[in-house]
Chain A
């Protein structure tokens, strides 16, 4: 069973609207949680990285939250743009292991 589950699998939103992506994980203890953006056919690019003690981290129109008690994270995209169309991947780094746990990603499509 994957230790990182993301939902929804995909979503379509209109340009200018907001959306929230979810990430639930079972990795414990963990060192940090990251959100990556991956454009089709390209390498993932880091959006945010949070340690277990951080609750929120912003990067422009992207805001990530973390609840270490419930083992949930979310990524909120504000005022979406066409360029936000991509796959968003939640990645959890265990405290005592070098192997990262990757979620399957949420594919976001922004329509004009």
Chain B
């Protein structure tokens, strides 16, 4: 158990819909990262937050947005969903140094 929690575990929705994925980092970790992993693909970095502020942006679509709240939990919002958005979405957290990222169990999103 990495100490990072993600909800929900599974999500099934239809094209055009909007969903919110939630992540709670390990206790004391200020950084939260979001990744997308499509079937048989590597992890794709989406975005990073540090202590509530956006720090780095990767290949995140304009239809996607994220935020980190004062209690350090983070949410990833996916809107106007398309079939190609079906993937595993992972959240990771790290401490101040950022040397080690601890991954959550992921949310499996299926868009029908």
The yes or no verdict on A and B being binding partners is yes
Using a CB–CB distance below 8 Å, which chain A residues touch chain B? 31-32, 34, 36, 41-46, 49, 89, 93, 97-100, 102-105
Q: Given contacts A42-B105, A43-B105, A43-B106, is CB(A100)–CB(B45) below 8 Å?
A: yes
List the 8 closest pairs (A to B, CB-CB), nearest first: A43-B103, A104-B42, A98-B56, A102-B43, A44-B103, A102-B42, A43-B105, A99-B56
A44 touches B55 (CB 8 A): no
How many Å from the CB of A25 to the closest CB on chain B? Answer: 14
B92 to chain A, nearest CB (A): 8
Chain B residues contacting A43 (CB-CB under 8 Å) are 2, 4, 90, 92, 103-106
Which of chain B's residues has its CB closest to A46's CB?
A: B100
Known: A43-B90, A103-B42. A98 touches B104 (CB 8 A): no
Between A and B, 9 residue pairs with Cβ closer than 8 Å are A34-B100, A36-B103, A41-B106, A41-B108, A43-B2, A46-B101, A97-B56, A98-B56, A99-B48
Are the CB atoms of B2 and A99 closer together than 8 Å?
no
Counting contact residues on chain B (CB < 8 A from A), the size range is: 20 to 34
CB pair A32 B105 closer than 8 Å = no
Shortest distance between the CB of B85 and any CB in chain A (Å): 18
> Please, which residues of chain A bring their CB within 8 A of the CB of B102?
46
Do residues A93 and B88 form an inter-chain contact, with CB atoms below 8 A?
Answer: no
Question: Do the beta carbons of B99 and A93 come within 8 Å of each other?
Answer: yes
CA of A41 to CA of B102, assembled, Å: 16
A87 to B34, CA, bound (A): 19
Besides A43-B2, A49-B100, A104-B41, 8 more A-B contacts (Cβ < 8 Å) are A31-B99, A34-B100, A41-B108, A43-B4, A44-B90, A97-B56, A99-B58, A103-B42
Cβ–Cβ contact B42 & A98, under 8 A: no
- Supposing A43-B90, A43-B105, A45-B2 touch, asked if A98 and B98 sit within 8 A by C-beta, the answer is yes
A9 closest partner in B (C-beta): B40
With a cutoff of 8 Å between Cβ atoms, the chain B residues found around residue A100 in the complex are: 45, 101
A41 touches B88 (CB 8 A): yes
Alpha-carbon separation in the docked complex, A45 to B90 (Å): 12
* Measured CA separation A85–B60 after assembly (Å): 31
